[in-house]
C-alpha cells in the first residue's frame, strides 16, 4: 500500500495512506512529502494522545497541507471513449480524485457512479459495467472502446494504458459480451489540445488516425468527426485502410505489367533466345549447303576455262601426230 509522509515526529512519521487513513511508521530518515510503500504489519494504531495532537494538523492537511496536496494532486489522466466520453484525474496512488463526463452522454453515464477514491482499475471496471447495462456494448462484437493514459513519465503512461486495456477486456469477457478495446499512451500536450477542443485525447488521436488513412486527408472535417461515436470512426478507418491496400496492390500489379512489357518475362526471354538460336543455325546450314540454282562462282569459271584449254591442246597434239605419220609415208 502506498502512503505519503505528512509529519515527522522524532522516531516515527505520520503517513496518509491511499485509502485516506493516517498511519504511523518507524522513521527511517523520511521527509515530509515522501511516498512510502507500506505493509500492513509495519503500521500501528495512532495513540489517543497522538490523535489529539494531530487534530489541528489534520485540519491543516484538509485545507491543503503537503499530505493533502500529494493525495489530491492529479499526476495521471485517463480517458475512456465509446460514444460517451469520460475523463479520470488520478493521483500518485492510482486513485481517482475526479471523474468528468466530457460530452453529454458521458455525463449521463457516470451520473450515478461514485468513482472518487476508487482505484483507476475499479473505476474503469464500473464504467464498463455501466456501458454494458446501457447497451453500448453487446455480444455482437461491434462495440469499440478507446482508452488513453497520460503521465509525465512515458513508461508509466504505457504501463497504465496496457493495464487498463486488460482490465476493460476482462470485464467485458466476464459479462459475456464482446468488443474491441484499444489503448494508447499520450503526452500532456495532446491532453491540453484535446481539452481546448472539448474532447478526450483518445478520441482526438483516433480522428487524427482517420485523417492519415484518408486518400484525401483535407476532406476530413476533424470537428465533425470528433462528434461521432468511436465505432463509426473506427469503421471509417478500416474502410480507408482496406481501400489503400487495394490501391497499393493494383499499383504493384501495373508496375509488374509495365516491367514485363519493357523487358519481357524470363520465359519470354528464353523463348526469344531459343528462337534466335534456331534462326542462326538455319542460316549457317543454308550457307554450307550447295544449291542447283546458285550461279557459278569466279573459281568455277576459271576451272571451266582451264578445262576448255586442256581439250584444245589435246586436239592439236592429235593433228600433229597424224601430219608426221603422213610425211613419213611420203618419204618412203
Query: Residues 284-319: pLDDT tens digits?
Result: 555 555 544 444 444 434 333 433 333 344 444 444
Residues 3 and 92: their CA atoms lie apart, in Å, by 10
pLDDT of residue 101: 96
Q: What is the dihedral of CA 51, 54, 60, 64, to 10 degrees?
A: -80
Distances, alpha carbon 130 to alpha carbons 106, 124, 173, 199, in Å:
11, 10, 14, 20
Q: Which residues, 6+ apart, have CB-to-CB distance to 76 below 8 Å? A: 89, 90, 91, 94, 120, 149, 150, 151, 156, 157, 160
pLDDT of residue 326: 47
Longest CA–CA span in the chain (Å) reads 190
* Strand, coil or helix: 76: strand
Rounded-to-5 percentages of helix, strand, coil across the chain: 55, 20, 25
pLDDT of residue 97: 94
Nine-digit cell at 225?
A: 468527426
Residue of 97, 106, 115, 74 whose CA lies nearest to 203: 106
pLDDT of residue 149: 98
Q: What fold, for 2-72?
A: SH3 type barrels. (2.30.30)
Q: Which residues, 6+ apart, have CB-to-CB distance to 3 below 8 Å? A: 15, 16, 17, 18, 23, 25, 35, 36, 38
pLDDT of residue 280: 55
Q: Which residue has the cell 494532486?
A: 73
Nine-digit cell at 215?
A: 486518400
Low-confidence ranges of the chain (pLDDT < 70): 20, 40-68, 264-332
* Start and end residues for every CATH 2.30.30 domain found in the chain: 2-72
**Cβ atoms of 42 and 25 closer than 8 Å:** yes
pLDDT of residue 18: 72
Residues 273 and 270: their CA atoms lie apart, in Å, by 5
Q: Distance between alpha carbon 235 and the CA centroid of its chain, in Å?
A: 17
Q: Which residue has the cell 538455319?
A: 282
* Strand, coil or helix: 21: coil
Residue 126 burial (CB < 10 Å; 0-12/13-18/19+)?
Answer: middle
Q: Which residue has the cell 528462337?
A: 275
Where is 96: in which H helix or E strand? strand 96-101
Amino acid at each position: 500500500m502506498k502512503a505519503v509522509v505528512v509529519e515527522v515526529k522524532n522516531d516515527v512519521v505520520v503517513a496518509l495512506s491511499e485509502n485516506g487513513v493516517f498511519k504511523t511508521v518507524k522513521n527511517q530518515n523520511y521527509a515530509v512529502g515522501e511516498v512510502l510503500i507500506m505493509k500492513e504489519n509495519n503500521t500501528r494504531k495512532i495513540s489517543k494522545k497522538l490523535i489529539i495532537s494531530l487534530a489541528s494538523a489534520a485540519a491543516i492537511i484538509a485545507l491543503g497541507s503537503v499530505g493533502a496536496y500529494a493525495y489530491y494532486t492529479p499526476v495521471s489522466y485517463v480517458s475512456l471513449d465509446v460514444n460517451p466520453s469520460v475523463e479520470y484525474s488520478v493521483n500518485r496512488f492510482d486513485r481517482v480524485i475526479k471523474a468528468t463526463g466530457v460530452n453529454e452522454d458521458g455525463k449521463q453515464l457516470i451520473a450515478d457512479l461514485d468513482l472518487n477514491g476508487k482505484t483507476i482499475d475499479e473505476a474503469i471496471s464500473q464504467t464498463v459495467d455501466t456501458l454494458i447495462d446501457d447497451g453500448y456494448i453487446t455480444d455482437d462484437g461491434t462495440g469499440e472502446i478507446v482508452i488513453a493514459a497520460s503521465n509525465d513519465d512515458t513508461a508509466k503512461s504505457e504501463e497504465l494504458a496496457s493495464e487498463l486495456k486488460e482490465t476493460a477486456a476482462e470485464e467485458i469477457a466476464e459479462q459475456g459480451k464482446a468488443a474491441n478495446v484499444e489503448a494508447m499512451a499520450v503526452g500532456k500536450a495532446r491532453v491540453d489540445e484535446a481539452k481546448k477542443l472539448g474532447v478526450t485525447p483518445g478520441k482526438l488521436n483516433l480522428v487524427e488516425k482517420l485523417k492519415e488513412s484518408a486518400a484525401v486527408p483535407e476532406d476530413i472535417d476533424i470537428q465533425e468527426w470528433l462528434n461521432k461515436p468511436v465505432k463509426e470512426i473506427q469503421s471509417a478507418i478500416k474502410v480507408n485502410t482496406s481501400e489503400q491496400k487495394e490501391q497499393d496492390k493494383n499499383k504493384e500489379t501495373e508496375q509488374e505489367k509495365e516491367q514485363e512489357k519493357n523487358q519481357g518475362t524470363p520465359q519470354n526471354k528464353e523463348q526469344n533466345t531459343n528462337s534466335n538460336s534456331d534462326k542462326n543455325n538455319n542460316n549457317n546450314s543454308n550457307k554450307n549447303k550447295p544449291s542447283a540454282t546458285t550461279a557459278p562462282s569466279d573459281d568455277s569459271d576459271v576451272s571451266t576455262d582451264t578445262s576448255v584449254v586442256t581439250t584444245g591442246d589435246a586436239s592439236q597434239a592429235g593433228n600433229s601426230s597424224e601430219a608426221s605419220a603422213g610425211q613419213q609415208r611420203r618419204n618412203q
